[in-house]
Amino acid sequence: MGDLLINFLSGPVPIEAYLGVSLIMFFAGVYGFLSRKSLLMILISVELMLNAADINFIVFNRYLYPGHMEGFFFALFTIAIAACETAVAIAIIINIYRNLSSVQAGELNQMKE
Amino acid sequence: MQYTLLIILLPLLSFIVLGLMDSKLKPKVAGAIGVSVLGIITLLSYISAFEYFYLHKIEGVYEKLVPLHIEWIRFNEFLHIDLGILLDPISIMMLVVITTVSLMVNIYSLEYMKGEKGFQRYYAFLSLFTFSMLGLVVATNIFQMYIFWELVGVSSYLLIGFYYTKPSAVAASKKAFIVTRFADLGFLIGILFLSFYTKTFDFNILNSGDASIFASTAGVSFMGISVMSWTMGLIFIGGAGKSAMFPLHIWLPDAMEGPTPVSALIHAATMVVAGVFLVARLFPVYHTYAPDVLHVIAYIGAFTSLFAAVIACVQTDIKRVLAFSTISQIGFMMVGLGVSGIGGHEGHEGLGYMASMFHLFTHAMFKALLFLGAGSVIHAVHSNEMNHMGGLRKYMPITNITFLIACLAIAGIFPFSGFFSKDEILAATFQFSPYLGATMSFIAGLTAFYMFRLYFNIFWGKEHKHEHTPHESPFTMAFPLVFLAAVTVVAGFLPFGKLVTADRSEYIIHLDPIVATVSIIIAVLSITLAALMYMKEKETPKQLATTFSGIFKMASNRFYIDEVYIFITKKIIFNLVSTPIAWFDRNVIDATINNIGVVTQWTSHKTKRFQSGQVQQYAYVFLVGTLIIAAIMLFV
Amino acid sequence: MADQIIFWILAAIMTVFSILAVTSKNIIRSATFLLFVLLGTAGLYLLLGYHYLFAVQIAVYAGGIMVLFIFAILLTNRPGENVKTEKYYRKVIAGITSFAGLAFCGHIIYWNVNKAYTLVATSELKVQDIGHTLMGTDKYQYLLPFEFISVLLLACIVGAIMIARKR
């Protein structure tokens, strides 16, 4: 048992372990995006998915092209863009709430009719 | 003779002014405008007639004057539609007839239509009619004639439907318009044929006797009949429609729904003779290139004449009697043209043409007089029915005398104008065929009979109790009667043969003494018969009616021609042609379009929920789609 | 060995909290769980040797975005208001779909990426290199995207203020 554990833990972390974690994060985000009604929850789910993508960039960069920095910068810019996106989205949500007293995605259909 | 343009344009101006101002003008002012314009153009047309017949004769032949000629639409170097004025004996004669009768009707209407709603409109329409009729007779080419021909039809329609709140008047106006329009289709096709083969519309070229323009028709035939016969026959259909020849006569009796002066002007004196005028205008073409059609015209005229005369004998509505009498008399004119030749003054070949035109002239006068007299009677009695009248001679002496003069004229009693013109037609017909001549003499007898039946029933016979005593019409109505009666008395002595002939050269009228004597005898006998039957209240007419109940009933119902039309249109055309077409239109063409709409609507209803605006739904669809595509790419 | 242990602990934290973050009924809790996930992500960056990115992740996400979230939640939630629960079928459908996606992608990772790649080096990325790369204009250098991002950020700041300000 102990040997097995030591064997398992020996050497570097395998790439698929990272990918598995990011995969679970991503689909947790997808689940949240599809199932939750509150706009803020949708936004949280989007953040989760973005982070999962970031992890993938970083992992691929580190494992496949250790001498390059493309993945790194992609992740960096993604974080910046995520910040922008969140700022604007939250501004919109607050504005919507101010006008409609609701942040439920299903109820925002005034523009439709 | 440039001023003849004024004759045409002044009524148009008056129409525009009256039509635009309409009720802004006082009725009296509108009437004054109408009458004064007509007065001016009547004067002008008399002046032009004198000038023409005195000054424009070269070596015994009247010139064809074209004082105005404008090229309007040019198709190619040969074919162009022009507008212009053509003056020759018949158009000058028609100018005189139209302006005279129109003036009389305008004066007469001042009183007759007084207080009617739409008095100004009435005068506007009268002006429009006068303009179009004058334009028709002076047309230089067949297309201009067609344009005015349709304008005349429109103004006739408007005037018949003048009492547009009355359903029968509306129906009558529609009937008149549709029937004549239907006939005009034939006319139009004829025009197209004619212009196709001759490359011209111009009357002067068509009538010039130049054989080269008809060269392309030689040897062309369809169904065994030469193309010129087809063409001229089709053109005659147009004329038959306007002139109420059998079987296109059905609109004319109904057209009596219009005001009586309108009937006098349009449906007795001027418009209904347009067909006769058309044949006369193209007479050289008919005579040279389609003599068979000319004979057909003669027989159609004779049949129509007989047919209408028989019906006229049993009608009780006085305006209807006059309407059928008009049809009958137009039949006379058609016969006169149909049996005529050109020139040949020794053998009297051109007699029919001259007689027909002469009859047109005299008939216009005395038939207008009859209608205006009838209008006067109706004005007094407020009814069209014969048996509401009777014994009116005591109350209406002027109407009585003038009506009697007109009846004598139409019956053909010397020295009234109808005698001369009718006897010349009879003489020409006898020359053509004794049988046809005998028929026409018989019809002349019938004419005398039914006219005096009418006369005696109105002015003699048993007096009908009136709600208020009938009274003589005032001066504005009496004056036209007197004037037209005077014309009717003296017109027979006009040297008509010197003025209007087929070849425009002088023609000495030669009265056949045998024909004249016989026809006078027939007329007198018929009048006597009518007097015996209707002068006093007697049982004879009723007995006769029961004895010949079959034919009496048929004639009363106008030989069921209207019913035949109704049967053909409603049962045959509507059921067998229109209904399937309507079905096809509704269930195939419309249904295709509608179903496209329905399908589109259905599809959009169904696909509407895809466009829900729910971001999460979009994301879901997007995700599922991505997964499916990825799976396909990976596993398939 | 130590790397592995740290990684597995982080992985467990991230997995559990990311699932909790999207399923929790209380939104403020969700935000808190999200914060844990973000911190865990930062830990992974550290583990992979990207110290700068670790700092950025902490500063921007945990310091900036999370604060925004908390403010937004406080602004849009009335005190004492019941949280609306989602419909059941909606959760099921979302769950099935997510699970299908998870299984599909997991399958791909398991069969295709399988041990082909191993970590070569885990040396720390120098901030000096990052600075040169970010400010350079050569190939594989990122001055232009950097400027774009800065303009975008400015636009977002102005836009967010415009949208959210009271009229």
Q: Which tokens belong to C5?
A: 């242990």
* Greater pLDDT, B478 or B223: B478
Chain B hits for C94, Cβ within 8 Å: 620
Q: How many CB atoms lie within 10 A of CB B39?
A: 14
Per-residue pLDDT, averaged over C63-81, amounts to: 81
Closest CA to B271 of B391, B136, B394, B163: B136
Q: What is the pLDDT of residue B346?
A: 58
Work out the average pLDDT over B208-217.
74
Answer yes or no: do C5 and C76 share one domain: yes
User: Is the pLDDT assigned to residue A25 strictly greater than 90?
Assistant: yes
- Among A26-30, B7-11, B195-199, top mean pLDDT goes to A26-30
C-beta of residue B97 within 8 angstroms of C-beta of residue B16 = no
Is 90 exceeded by the pLDDT of residue A26?
yes
Please say whether the structural domain A2-112 has been given the CATH code 1.10.287.3510.
yes
The CB density around residue B535, as the number of other CB atoms within 10 Å, is: 16
Residues C94 and C144 in one domain: no
| C94, C37: one domain | no
CB contact under 8 A, C68 and A90: yes
ipTM above 0.90, yes or no: no
3-class DSSP assignment, residue B67: strand
Cα–Cα distance, B366 to B408 (Å, whole number):
10
Q: What is the predicted pLDDT for the residue at B483? A: 87
- A19-28, B246-255, B396-405, B550-559: which has the minimum mean pLDDT? B550-559
Q: What are the chain A neighbours of C2 within 8 Å (beta carbons)?
A: none
**Residues in C 137-156 with any Cβ partner in A closer than 8 A:** 140, 142, 145, 149, 152-153, 155-156
Say whether both C53 and C90 belong to one domain.
no
- Using one digit for the tens of pLDDT, what is the confidence trace for B297-312? 888 888 888 888 888 8
Interchain pair A105, B615: CB under 8 A: yes
Which pTM value belongs to this model? 0.66
Mean pLDDT of B23-51: 87
Mutate to test the interface with B, among C104, C105, C107, C109 (most CBs of B within 10 A): C104
> What pLDDT, in 10s, does the model give residues C18-51?
999 998 888 888 899 999 999 999 999 988 888 8
What is the total count of domains within chain C? Answer: 3
Give the rounded distance of the alpha carbon of B196 from its chain centre: 27
| Structure confidence at residue B625 (pLDDT) | 92
CA-nearest residue of chain B to C97? B624
Q: What pLDDT is stored for residue A28 in this prediction?
A: 93
Mean pLDDT of chain B, nearest integer: 83
Is the same domain home to C134 and C58?
no
Specify whether C114 is located in the same domain as C145: no
CB B172 within 8 A of CB B257: yes
> What would the pLDDT profile of B39-93 be if each residue is shown by its tens digit?
998 998 888 888 888 887 777 777 788 888 888 888 777 778 888 888 888 888 8
Pick among A5, A31, A55, A58 to test the C interface (most C CBs inside 10 A): A31
Mean pLDDT of C145-154: 91
Predicted confidence at residue C117, as pLDDT, reads 62
Tell me the percentage of chain B whose pLDDT exceeds 90: 3
Instruction: Determine contact, residues B395/B470, Cβ cutoff 8 Å.
Output: yes
Nearest to C105 by CA among B397, A58, A29: A29
DSSP, collapsed to helix, strand or coil, labels residue B240 as helix
- Please choose, from the candidates C71, C70, C46, C49, the residue with its C-alpha nearest in 3D space to the C-alpha of residue C58: C46
Q: Residue B7 corresponds to which tokens in the numbers above? A: 């004759």
Q: What is the pLDDT of residue A111?
A: 67
Shared domain check, C152 and C75? no
What pLDDT is stored for residue B509 in this prediction? 67
Report d(CA B111, CA B372) in Å as an integer: 12
Q: How far apart are the first and last CA of chain B?
A: 99
For residue range C151-162, list pLDDT tens digits in order.
Answer: 999 998 898 888
Judge whether residue A113 has pLDDT over 60.
no
Give contacts of A57 with chain C, Cβ < 8 Å. none
Structural domain including C74 reads 1-85
Asked if B337 and B280 count as a contact pair (C-beta separation under 8 A), the reply is yes
The answer to whether residues C15 and C45 belong to one domain is yes
Q: How far apart are CA B56 and CA C23, in angstroms?
A: 115
Note whether C73 contacts A: Cβ–Cβ < 8 A: yes
Query: Which chains form contacts with chain C, at 3 or more CB pairs under 8 Å?
Result: A, B
Name which of B399, B425, B402 is nearest B412 in CA terms: B425
In the predicted structure, residue B427 carries a pLDDT above the cut 60: yes
Q: Which of residues 566-625 of B touch A (CB under 8 A)?
A: 612-616, 619-620, 623
Residue B230 confidence (pLDDT) above 70: yes
- In this structure, are C109 and C164 located in the same domain? no
Q: Residues, chain C, total?
A: 167
Whole-number pLDDT of residue B19:
86
What's the whole-number mean pLDDT along residues B334-358? 77
- Reported as a single tens digit per residue, the pLDDT across C91-103 is 898 899 999 999 9
Best C92, C97, C110 member to test B by mutation, with max B CBs in 10 Å, is C97
Contact B152/B18 with Cβ under 8 angstroms?
A: no
Give the CA count within 13 Å in the CB-facing half-sphere of C138: 2
Measured in angstroms, the CA of C92 and the nearest CA of chain B are apart by 13
Token pair belonging to A12: 């570097």
Contact (CB, 8 A) for B45 and B6: no
Looking at residues B570-578, what average pLDDT do you find?
A: 78
| Residue C85 pLDDT grade (very low, low, confident, very high; cuts 50, 70, 90) | low
Q: For residue A109, give the nearest of B613, B616, B620 by CB distance.
A: B613
Range from A90-99, B458-467, C30-39, C83-92 carrying the lowest mean pLDDT: B458-467
* Mean predicted lDDT score pLDDT of chain C: 84
Cβ contact, residue pair A105, B620, below 8 Å: no
B608, B610, B611, B614: which to substitute to probe chain A, counting the most A Cβ within 10 Å? B614
Inform me whether the C-beta atom of residue C111 falls under 8 Å from chain A C-beta atoms. Answer: no
pLDDT at C82: 57
Q: Which two tokens stand for residue C29?
A: 């809790």
Chain A residues lying within 8 Å of C75, measured CB to CB: 94, 97
> C81 and C23: one domain?
yes
The residue-averaged pLDDT of B408-435 equals 83
Confidence at residue B602, expressed as pLDDT on a 0 to 100 scale = 92
Give the per-residue pLDDT at C9. Answer: 92
- Which of the residue ranges A52-61, B182-191, B558-567 would you say has the lowest mean pLDDT? B558-567
